[in-house]
Amino acid sequence: MEFGTLSIQQLLSGYQKKDFKPSEVAASFLKNISDKNEKLNAFLQVRPDETLSQARALDEKMSQVEKLPLFGIPIAIKDNFLVRGWQATAGSKVLSGYLSPYTATSVERLQSMGAVIVGKVNCDEFAMGSSNENSAFGPVRNPWALDRVPGGSSGGSSAAVAAGLATVSLGTDTGGSIRQPASLCGLVGLKPSYGRVSRYGIVSYASSLDQVGPFSRTVWDSARVLEVMAGHDGMDATSAKRAVPRFTEELKAPSKKSFTLGVSRSWLEGVDSDVAKAFDVAIEFFKKMGGKVVEIDLPHTQYALSTYYLIAPSEASSNLARYDGVHYGYRTQSAKTSEELYSKSRGEGIGREVKLRIMLGTYALSAGYYDAFYLKANQVRRKIQEDFEKAFTQCDFVVSPTSPSTAFKLGEKTDDPLKMYLSDIFTLPVNLAGLPGLSVPCGLDSNNLPIGFQMIGKPFGESELFSAAHQYEQIRGEFPVADMAKGRG
Amino acid sequence: MSLEKYEAVIGLEVHAQLMTASKMFCRCPNQYGSSPNTNVCPVCTGQPGALPVINKKAMELGVRAAIALNCEIHSESVFARKNYFYPDLPKGYQISQYEKPFCTQGHVVVQLKTGEEKRIGITRIHFEEDAGKSNHEAYGTLVNLNRAGVPLCEIVSEPDMRTAHEAGQYLRALHSILRYADICDGNMEEGNFRCDANISVRPVGTEKFGTKVELKNINSFKFVEKAIEYEVQRQVFAIENGEKIIQQTRSWNSAKNVTEVMREKEQAHDYRYFPEPDLPKLVFSSSWLDKIKKEMPELPQQTSARFKAAFDLSDYDASVLTSSKELAKYFESVVSHSKNGKASANWVMNELLGRLNAASKEIDSSPVSSTQLAELIAKIDSGEISGKIAKTVFEEMFATSKDASSIIKDKGFVQISDPAALENVIRKVIESNPSQLADYKAGKVKLLGFFVGQAMKETKGQANPALLNELVKKFLDS
């Protein structure tokens, strides 16, 4: 039997009916990974014995399917999460061979509810990138077209699910790193509200922006993963002390069926025409559901890119100082002085894009520049938040395409960082404002490449977001899967 | 010598380790002396993905310090990262406070040897985590992270001190207050109370500060005073010789009694401070602050005032007895058992402290416990032994740590209060001194003392002095 394209819901129902057992499912995924990963380069580490032993332990508990909301669900974890016993490279040579001494809270919660880890997946180095071409372990390819990128930075996470090599996966999103690859791979990708999910155990890139979120085939699956892993964590002082709704329960009986969508036309200028068309089609569906569209103004989003590229690199320059060759990770062999130990370990272990951002951030925080850059950027950040606050007095969601284009070719944007950065133009402001953002597939372009529709919710408004997206999904109908996910090999 | 033409300007920065059970941002024990790198976890070793969580007890102790040092407490403050690379700093930054510390503008009043008081301003107190420890060995540097993440308060004074003595007294006052309020154990040898001094000199009568020199890590009160004294002289002589003071960091060499250059003006270190994004703003609710104020332990000045009132002590006695928290505690314990404040004060100050000083011992390691001393005082008050014998007994107690009762029993020191027994002795003394008796009878009444003394000698000092006096007089006059 083929499990690769099944949703969590379908797998759970199969387990309930005893159609198959977790070990069969896990073995099938492991087989597909070993067959297909060579083409994709999505998986950086698999531990078949460990995966199968976890799955077999669940075989013995078939009666508990209903008690474990992720019973036997194969999940892939981005390699910037720490999972005890697994490596955590964050896509960097400087952490090559680093073995996690503890497990991230989010992963621990998923595991305790029955999720089975099938592998750690590739990503841009330290989650910095929009194409997964910045990984020290080579680029990931898009299952929809192998000469194209899967998006980034969670490119391994999106490729794995899109190729049917995991039912769901975890990624991190600092400026779009879940939503953009979800969009480019035809998946549902959620960046929860800042503080919704614990960051404990994810390799920090930009602490005030980083959030953990799932990739899935359906909105229901996304809701299921979030409801299991969300909630306050005593190990993360920035995790919110807020009750976590039973999102999947809420989906059974939607309390609201028509939504007001806020669109800022000036913000949307310059998107590819296929993308713009698909976006309009999605909006039509919402109108069919009884919803309406209002024009909103987000005047400060034009500064989102520059704001993001001051705040994120500033925090990163400090967060990444620990990778110095002294305590763990890559250490140069040629240092003669302690000064050299630092500069060479970091110089040799850290890749180009990450160095660029570290230098950017170091500069922005330097004495004499702090006020003009870091401080000013935070003031603008507040303005962007206020734009959204104002918009939400007029609408339920702010919507946009997730990315201005569909999956681009490998190497197409690597020479031009600014062009690359523009891939995240619609996702960055959401992180700056700390809001939940969901990307849901809304069409295919003329090259048969998926297009994503981004819905931005109110702070901690995931319930409404899921509800609306779930209803949209019903009307839209089943979304196609990449050919690669269908058969073996 | 032209020292008197100059005035020193001294400011101190004190790092006080907070007496919490666990570290500032993780649950590892805050414990000195464990095997290297055993009190560590992903957070304090800076593993990827590990995040800090604020230790509320540390905040409480900091607030106590702020109250004790008369500071203005800010209900909102911000943790900041201080970025620099060093092997014992595993994250590559230290979590501290920078632009918005939790309190500012305090002061402490210190006693000077002239008898005057001086108010020393406190600029700010902020929280920060300690770094680990680098041990430089011949074959390389070993890093011990047990101390990494231990909670500290950095207490920064205003440049209000003008002499080494003032600096020393300020430091002593701070030390005593922090110990009284159970904020910091003050152990300087373990590095739990560390002091850096900023020193400059300027011609008397001028306002402008001279170039300052930073003296690092001076680990005793005595050295602080000596080091500052030396440094002030060094700077004055340098200026008088036409040299320029160079901004530098120096350390005290206690073997040579000189300050030495550690490093020249640091190459404009830019710590790139910015608000710690892993921690929310530090917010103190007014109810929480009130609770801490209410539960504030007694401070030295309060204890001193209480002693004066309760036990009728002089300013001086009260200040001696409250000079350390341990001594005050010891004294209070003696009083509570002996029920005699005045006598307890005298015994502690005159007999105990003198002997402890001579033996270079602290009150904590006194061979005579407070209850033992109280027992001795009670025995004088009950008439079981005389004050004179008590001194002999005390000497024995100090030497052997034995109880007064067992020494009295072993040595037969019990006071003789039986009139019949004393009468026998008196009769014998009078009989063997006929000429003195005649003189007494002839009117030389001063000789009473002679007979009492002889009788006391005969009883080896064990006679009840009042009773003996009375009986001798009765015999002589009969």
Average pLDDT by consecutive 10-residue portion of chain B (478 residues)? 84 96 96 93 97 97 96 97 95 96 95 86 97 89 95 97 93 93 91 93 90 87 90 91 88 87 73 96 96 92 88 82 88 89 88 87 88 85 80 86 83 77 85 86 86 83 82 83
Q: What residue ranges define each of the domains in chain B, with the CATH number in brackets? A: 3-288 (no CATH), 298-411 (no CATH), 419-477 (1.10.10.410)
Rg (alpha carbons) of chain B, rounded to whole number: 30
Number of domains in chain A: 1
Q: Say how far apart CA A90 and CA A113 lie, in whole Å.
A: 25
pLDDT of residue A489: 39
Is A72 part of a structural domain of the chain? yes
A127: left (phi over 0), alpha (psi -120 to 50) or beta: left
Confidence at residue B462, expressed as pLDDT on a 0 to 100 scale = 78
* Cβ under 8 Å to B: A residues 373-412: 374
Q: Does A362 touch chain B (CB under 8 A)?
A: yes
How much is the pLDDT for B387? Answer: 79
Give me the helices (H) in A61-178, please: 105-112, 155-162
Confidence at residue A96, expressed as pLDDT on a 0 to 100 scale: 95
Residue A362 lies in a domain: no
B48·A101 Cβ contact <8 A: no
Q: Which residue is catalytic, options A153, A158, A239, A264?
A: A153
Chain A residues whose beta carbon lies within 8 Å of the beta carbon of residue B48:
80, 82, 88, 90, 95, 98, 203-204, 322
A78 given a catalytic annotation: yes
- pTM of the predicted structure, to 2 decimals: 0.89
- State how far the Cα of B319 lies from the Cα of A118, in Å rounded to an integer: 71
A326 touches chain B (CB under 8 A): yes
Cβ count near A219 (within 10 Å): 26
Predicted local confidence at residue A149, as pLDDT: 98
Cα(B472)–Cα(B454) distance, integer angstroms: 10
Tell me, yes or no, whether A223 lies in a domain. Answer: yes
Is the residue at A401 inside a domain? yes
Q: Examine the residue annotation and report whether A153 is marked as an active-site residue of this protein.
A: yes
A95 Cβ under 8 Å from any chain B Cβ: yes
Q: Which of A326, A330, A354, A373 to mutate to test the interface with B (most CBs of B within 10 A)?
A: A326
Q: Are strands A74-78 and B282-283 parallel, antiparallel or unpaired?
A: unpaired
Provide the CATH number for the domain around residue A193: 3.90.1300.10
Q: How many residues does chain A have?
A: 489
A460–chain B Cβ distance below 8 A for any pair: no
Q: 């320059």: which residue's tokens? A: A317
Chain B residues with beta carbon closer than 8 angstroms to that of A98: 48
How high is the pLDDT of residue B267?
Answer: 59
| Contact (CB<8Å) A327/B48 | no
Instruction: Note if A67 is an active site residue.
Output: no
Q: What is the pLDDT of residue B274?
A: 96
Q: Are strands B213-218 and B248-253 parallel, antiparallel or unpaired?
A: parallel
CB A80 within 8 A of CB A202: yes
Exposure string over A152-166, b if 16+ CB within 10 A, otherwise e: bbbbbbbbbbbbbbb
List, as one string, the DSSP characters of A393-437. TT-SEEEEESSSSSPPBTTSSTT-HHHHHGGGTTTHHHHHHT--E
pLDDT tens-place string over residues A33-76: 999 999 999 999 999 999 999 999 999 999 999 999 999 999 99
* Residue at A332 is within a domain: no
Note whether B85 contacts A342, CB cutoff 8 Å: yes
* Chain A interface mutation, best of B23, B37, B47, B142, highest count of A Cβ atoms under 10 Å: B47
CB of A372 within 8 Å of a chain B CB? The answer is: no
Q: Identify the pLDDT of residue B454.
A: 86
Measure Cα distances from A63 to A11, A15, A21, A221 in Å.
15, 9, 11, 21
Residue A359 lies in a domain: no
- Give the Cα separation of B42 and B35 in Å (integer): 18
CA distance A259 to A395: 8
CA nearest to A209 within chain B: B277
- Which residue in A169, A177, A317, A405 is the catalytic one? A177
- Residues in chain A predicted with pLDDT less than 70, given as ranges, are 487-489
**Structural domain contains residue A337:** no
Mutate to test the interface with A, among B22, B43, B85, B141 (most CBs of A within 10 A): B85
Q: Which of A78, A93, A120, A191 is catalytic?
A: A78
Q: In this complex, how many residue pairs, one in chain A and one in chain B, have their CB atoms less than 8 Å apart? A: 100
Task: Report d(CA A349, CA A330) in Å as an integer.
Answer: 6
Whether B93 contacts chain A with CB within 8 A: yes
A340 assigned to some structural domain? no
| Domain span holding position A62 | 8-299+382-486
- Output the six-digit token pair for B29: 């024990």
Confidence at residue B177, expressed as pLDDT on a 0 to 100 scale: 93
Q: Does A107 touch chain B (CB under 8 A)?
A: no
